[in-house]
Amino acid sequence: MIAERYRLIGRIGEGVTGVAWLARDELLERDVALKEVRGPAGADPGAARALYGRLEHAARTAGRVSHRNVVAVHDVATCDGRPWIVMELVRGLALSDVLEGEGPLTPHRAAHIGAEVLAGLRAAHASGVAHLDVKPANVLLANDGRILVTGFGMASAAGTAGSLGPVASAADAPGAEADLWSLGALLFTAVEGRYPDGDGPAVAERAGPALAPVIEGLLRQDPAERMTAAEAEHRLRLASAGGQPRAGTAGAASAPAPAAPGGDGPGPAAGSPPAAGPAPGPEGGRHATAVLAVGIALLVLVVAALVWVVAGSG
């Protein structure tokens, strides 16, 4: 029993920062995922304590994010001087397992996954939380159809983050920019079946005309030229629905679409109904009235003629 509350049921998996367990929360009577944080074998006790402190801080920071595309952190318990991170239990597969078992994804499916991942990342960024290790292993495809991001800040706290991209070397680069580059690398991997090369611009040949510009825009070396999160999510939603960018927008990767009034999203997507034309003016109304009067007069004449014919025949 961990912290006199969580009963271990079985082992789920193991990562660089510890072991994941299926556990039962005896207080709330629900199943949870429990992350047992482990330091490197033979590590100095002082270094291990510092590592545990960083990982616990990362977990508590991630707990600030509440979004349907982010695995919820419920609690951080302590047992034998080590933190145990209590998380929402997600039944499903990691994207890395799907790619290993099925191979590259279709552009449509990759765009859908990317849009959901980006929605979770944007919610985290709005709360001041960066992931810093966006990769297929940290994206979960739940059995209920949800797509969730897990592992916020954990690899960075442990010093094992490996998907930060070219912005990682810039001391003043914000974490959100690193996450956007890593999302581009994830999308590239999803459709191409391999990680993008570090030399020169990455060309996703299997991405299709709707997804390829998003991947190219997110993988730009200069964060100032990188596609914005709002523009990327808009384009990913469009690509996942089978749509295409409107003419003249394909090259504007770094320019977000105009926001709709009262919101922070892009403007209407291609295929939205056209705006209604101007209402008819006074001249148009008088013309319609005249036409109606002529029609009524003709009707009266026709009726009168019929009555005359009937009367004459009688």
Place of tokens 């999308």: 187
Please give the Cα distance from 167 to 159 (Å, whole number).
16
- Distances in whole angstroms, Cα of residue 291 to Cα of each of 26, 155, 288: 80, 77, 5
Amino acid at 251: G
Reply yes or no on whether 133 is catalytic: yes
Q: Is 308 exposed, middle or buried (0-12, 13-18, 19+ CB in 10 A)?
A: exposed
Which pairing describes strands 18-25 and 30-37: parallel, antiparallel, or unpaired? antiparallel
Question: Beta strands of the chain (E only): which ranges?
Answer: 6-15, 18-25, 30-37, 73-79, 82-87, 92-94, 139-142, 147-149
What is the CB neighbour count within 10 angstroms for residue 100? 11
Q: Quick one: which H or E segment has residue 79?
A: strand 73-79
Please give the Cα distance from 60 to 65 (Å, whole number).
10
3-state secondary structure (DSSP) of residue 311: helix
Which pairing describes strands 6-15 and 30-37: parallel, antiparallel, or unpaired? unpaired
Q: The tokens of 237 are what?
A: 């939603």
Place of tokens 């990362």: 58
Please give the Cα distance from 80 to 2 (Å, whole number).
9
What is the CB neighbour count within 10 angstroms for residue 36? 19
44, 80, 133, 197: which is the annotated catalytic residue?
133
Please give the Cα distance from 204 to 182 (Å, whole number).
15
Residues with catalytic function: 133
